[in-house]
Chain A
Amino acid sequence: MAAGVAAWLPFARAAAIGWMPVANLPMPVAPTEKNKRQDEVIILNVSGRRFQTWRNTLDRYPDTLLGSSEKEFFYNEETKEYFFDRDPDVFRSVLNFYRTGKLHYPRYECISSYDEELAFFGIVPEIIGDCCYEEYKDRKRENAERLMDDQEDNKDAKLPNMTFRETMWRAFENPHTSTMALVFYYVTGFFIAVSVITNVVETVPCGSAPNQKEVPCGERYTVAFFCMDTACVMIFTVEYLMRLFAAPNRYRFMRSVMSIIDVVAILPYYIGLVMTDNEDVSGAFVTLRVFRVFRIFKFSRHSQGLRILGYTLKSCASELGFLLFSLTMAIIIFATVMFYAEKGSSSSKFTSIPASFWYTIVTMTTLGYGDMVPKTIAGKIFGSICSLSGVLVIALPVPVIVSNFSRIYHQNQRADKRRAQKVQKARLARIRLSKAGSSSAFLHSKRNGLFNEALELTQLPYKMSLSEQSSTKEEQHLGKSSSLLESQHHHLLHCLEKTTNHEFVDEQYYQQSYLEGGLQNYPPRSPSLSSQDGVTGTCCSRRSKKHNTPLRNASAPAHMQPLTHPQTHHHGLQELSTIHIQPLSTSRSSLNMRIDEPAPLNCQSSQITTAIISIPTPPVTTPEGDAHLPTGPSHQNVVKVSAL
Chain B
Amino acid sequence: MGLVMGTFSVQTKPVTYHKDTADDDFEMTIVCHRPEGLDQLEAQTNFNKRELQVLYRGFKNECPSGVVNEDTFKQIYSQFFPHGDASTYAHYLFNAFDAGHTGSIKFEDFVTALSILLRGSVTEKLQWTFNLYDINRDGYINKEEMTDIVRAIYDMMGKYTYPVLKTDAPKQHVDAFFQKMDKNRDGVVTLDEFILSCQEDENIMRSLQLFENVI
Contact = CB atoms under 8 A, between A and B. Distances in A.
Contacts of B38: none
Interface in A46-86: none
B103 interface: no
B11 to A, nearest CB: 6
A94 to B, nearest CB: 18
A524 B211 contact: no
A187 B114 CA distance: 88
A367 to B, nearest CB: 19
A262 interface: no
Contacts of B213: 30, 32
Contacts of B129: 17-18, 20-21
B4 A522 contact: no
A2 interface: yes
Contacts of A483: none
A539 B164 contact: yes
A502 B161 contact: yes
Interface in B35-63: 50, 54-55, 57-59, 61-62
Given A522-B154, A540-B163, A27 B81 contact: no
B17 interface: no
Categorize the interface residue count of chain B. 35 or more
Contact of A4 (B79, B150, B155, B172): B79
B135 interface: no
B33 interface: no
* Residue among A21, A330, A502, A539 with the highest chain B CB neighbour number at 10 A: A21
B12 interface: yes
B5 interface: yes
A256 to B, nearest CB: 29
B169 A522 contact: yes
Contacts of B166: 518, 520-522, 538, 540
Nearest to A504: B83
Contacts of A20: 129, 204, 207-208, 210
Interface in B138-190: 149-150, 153-169, 171-173, 175-177, 181
B22 to A, nearest CB: 14
A16 B209 CA distance: 12
A565 B160 CA distance: 10
A261 interface: no
A492 B82 CA distance: 12
A444 interface: no
A247 interface: no
A514 B163 CA distance: 8
B76 interface: yes
A325 B4 CA distance: 12
Contact of B59 (A2, A7, A16, A500): A7
Contact of B82 (A21, A438, A539, A608): A438
B162 A503 contact: yes
B1 interface: yes
B80 A2 contact: yes
Contacts of B11: 322, 325
A317 interface: no
Interface stretch (A171-179, A339-347, A526-534, A580-588): A526-534
Given A15-B93, A333-B4, A503 B161 contact: yes
A5 B62 contact: yes
Contacts of B79: 2, 4-5
Contact of A26 (B76, B158, B203): B203
Nearest to A503: B162
Interface in A325-357: 325-326, 329-330, 333
Interface stretch (A153-161, A459-467, A505-513): A505-513
A520 B167 contact: yes
Contacts of B157: 496-497, 500, 502, 504, 524
B31 to A, nearest CB: 20
A504 B153 contact: no
B167 A489 contact: no
B67 interface: no
B207 A505 contact: no
A524 B191 CA distance: 30
A525 interface: yes
B79 to A, nearest CB: 3
Given A21-B177, A439-B82, A531-B167, A504 B160 contact: yes
Interface string A517-555: 110111111110101000000111100000000000000
Contacts of B149: 18, 22
B88 interface: yes
Interface string A234-245: 000000000000
Contacts of A612: 172
A11 interface: yes
B8 A325 contact: yes
B88 to A, nearest CB: 7
B8 A524 contact: no
Contacts of B113: 14
B183 to A, nearest CB: 14
Contact of A389 (B1, B89, B210): B1
B8 A326 contact: yes
Contact of B162 (A318, A505, A527, A531): A505
Contacts of B80: 2, 5, 8-9, 12, 489, 492
A22 B173 contact: yes
Given A525-B155, A526-B85, A13 B214 contact: yes
Nearest to A523: B167
Nearest to B203: A26
Interface string A249-272: 000000000000000000000000
B19 interface: no
B215 interface: yes
B104 interface: no
Contact of A539 (B125, B163, B214): B163
Interface of A: 2, 4-27, 29-30, 32, 38-39, 318, 322, 325-326, 329-330, 333, 385, 389, 392-393, 396, 435-436, 438-439, 489, 492-493, 495-497, 499-507, 509-510, 513-514, 517-518, 520-527, 529, 531, 538-541, 562, 565, 567-568, 603, 605, 607-610, 612
21 contacts: A10-B118, A21-B133, A26-B206, A30-B214, A393-B5, A435-B82, A496-B153, A500-B157, A502-B163, A502-B165, A503-B162, A503-B163, A504-B162, A505-B161, A509-B162, A510-B160, A513-B164, A520-B166, A607-B171, A608-B168, A610-B168
